[in-house]
Amino acid sequence: EVQLVESGGGLVQAGGSLRLSCAASGFTFDDYAIGWFRQAPGKEREGVSCIGSSDGVTDFTDSVKGRFTISSDNAKNTVYLQMNSLKPEDTAVYYCAKKIWATCGSGFFKYEYDHWGRGTQVTVSS
């Protein structure tokens, strides 16, 4: 059974940092890209970042470029999202998801992800 479990969310002041983790199991971790999405209240779920398994290439949505980084520890089957210089508009539930292939490509399309975690809440106070 494929499982993705997010952790690391919490309450932080603007300008602060958090590191989210996505622990994956039930599939060959090296064969699939992993993405991070977020959903704020009343808004659509949007793509934040992705890391390819075959090439390690990363992608970020424009609003987080220069502030967020993504990395992968294949030995632990875990992907990390390091979030720095957090802003109140980063407040959302953050989800990690398994992509249906190994590379990120361009754009973040939910239909390209077939398994999702339950999410972790990130709240940034002003």
Partnered with residue 59 across adjacent β-strands are 50
Q: Which amino acid is at 73?
A: D
pLDDT tens digits for range 32-67: 999 999 999 999 999 999 999 988 899 999 999 999
H helix or E strand, kind and range, residue 21: strand 18-25
For the chain, give me the number of helices (H) and strands (E)?
A: 0, 11
pLDDT tens digits for range 102-124: 999 888 999 999 999 999 999 99
Partnered with residue 39 across adjacent β-strands are 93
DSSP class of residue 113 equals: E
- The first and second tokens of residue 121, run together, are 């809440």
DSSP class of residue 27 equals: S
* Distance (Å, whole) CA 61 – CA 47: 7
